[in-house]
Amino acid sequence: MVGQWEEEVDGQVVIRCYDERRDIIQMNRVEKSCEICHDDQTLLSTDSLGDPICRIRNSPLFTMLVAEVGNKLVGSIQGSVKPVEFYDKSVRVGYVLGLRVVPQYRRHGIGSILVRKLEEWFVSHNADYAYMATQKDNEASLGLFIGTLGYNVFRNPAILVNPVNPGGSLKLPSDIEIRMLKLKEAEPLYRRHVAATTEFFPGDIDKILRNKLSVGTWVASYKNDNIGSWAMLSVWDSSKVFKLRIKKAPLSYLLLTKVSNLFGKILSLFGLRSLPDLFNPFGFYFLYGVHAEGPLSGKLVRALCEHVHNMAASDDDGARKVVVVEVDGGSNGGDDDSLGRCIPHWKMLSCDDDMWCIKPLKCEEEMNGLSEFSKMCLRSKPRSSLFVDPRDL
């Protein structure tokens, strides 16, 4: 739901709920003026396929607020509320995303007004915490959320991106068995083995697994294994919701792409991979709920990732050109290296500077417990992983 709410803030700026019928054209202009720039060389464009709230539409409870000056939209913000496990407690969290202010209206406090109004909406829907994600080098975002609004850094996950080889499938290890789970198998497996060791595990994991965008869950094990090593993951198809496109990239990537495409057939003869075209709109498979147990589980995780790569490579429409996963820096409970070391990815396309920030929303916690909350966020839990909800992409 989006809602029907409006409030004049300072005589000029009006904050209200997004109205699809009257706002969709202007909202697309706002999005275009605020395209994501990760650094001085890479510009990432998002195609919402005509639906500005596509990124939150699959959440159980969501809204989008817009800032209006006169009859012109100058900013927007999106948010969703869901139940999760956080530091051994069942809580409700509000996720802040899609904060946009058109360039000529920045530095006028519109961004902070939008966040505060969204936080009020979170509280009205019984959220205990608000959280958001940004990059370590996004000084404007960090200054707003940490410096002004009182958020605390609590996780630094890495976004790992692996291009799909348009030329063919990868050969999987012959000693590994990969099986697709039924829904009635996947949910209890997640609750029994993942919930207790994973921060932000969703209380409604069943709804995620049953969502039309969730392709399925796979488990991998060794055919002859007396140790009990195993791994599992689920796959989310983002291409049906939105698409991405690289509009500007480092010269090295441009040259590598051109050479790869030119000599793709020759490269394949030597077992080398060509790069997909990421300068035209593309979708991706997102891997979520990645979990592994046992001393030899790293190889199983890699095999599962390569299995998903082959799924994307064999798609008739070729819409999914990369496989993406976001993992925390720590180990996932096994004796193997961290998950990031086991998951195949290209460093050139990946990002290790993601930063998650959080703050308590209840008044008594904000006033009396912020110091204790900060200590809680800084406590080290090396065996705890992080669940990245695919509905929050």
* Residues 116, 118, 122, 125, CA torsion sign: positive
**What was the pLDDT predicted at 118?**
97
At 353, the pLDDT band (50, 70, 90 cuts) reads confident
Q: Which residue has the higher pLDDT, 364 or 279?
A: 279
Looking at residues 109-126, what average pLDDT do you find?
96
Residue 364 has pLDDT above 60, yes or no: no
Q: What percent of the chain has pLDDT over 70?
A: 79
- Residue 336 has what pLDDT? 36
Contacts 24+ apart (CB under 8 A), 31-36: 31/100, 33/102, 33/103, 34/100, 34/101, 34/102, 34/103, 35/247
pLDDT classification of 50: cutoffs 50, 70, 90: confident
Whether residue 309 is predicted with pLDDT greater than 80 in this model: the reply is: yes
Does residue 187 have a pLDDT over 90? yes
Report pLDDT for 281. 84
Residue 380 has pLDDT above 50, yes or no: no
- The band of 247, judged by pLDDT with boundaries at 50, 70 and 90, is low
Q: How far is the CA of 25 from the CAs of 19, 58, 246, 301, 368, in angstroms? A: 11, 22, 23, 43, 44
CA 305 to chain centre: 17
- Nearest Cα neighbor of 231 from 176, 169, 286, 161 is 176
Virtual torsion, Cα 305, 307, 310, 316, nearest 10 deg: -110
- CA–CA separation, 295 vs 231, rounded Å? 11
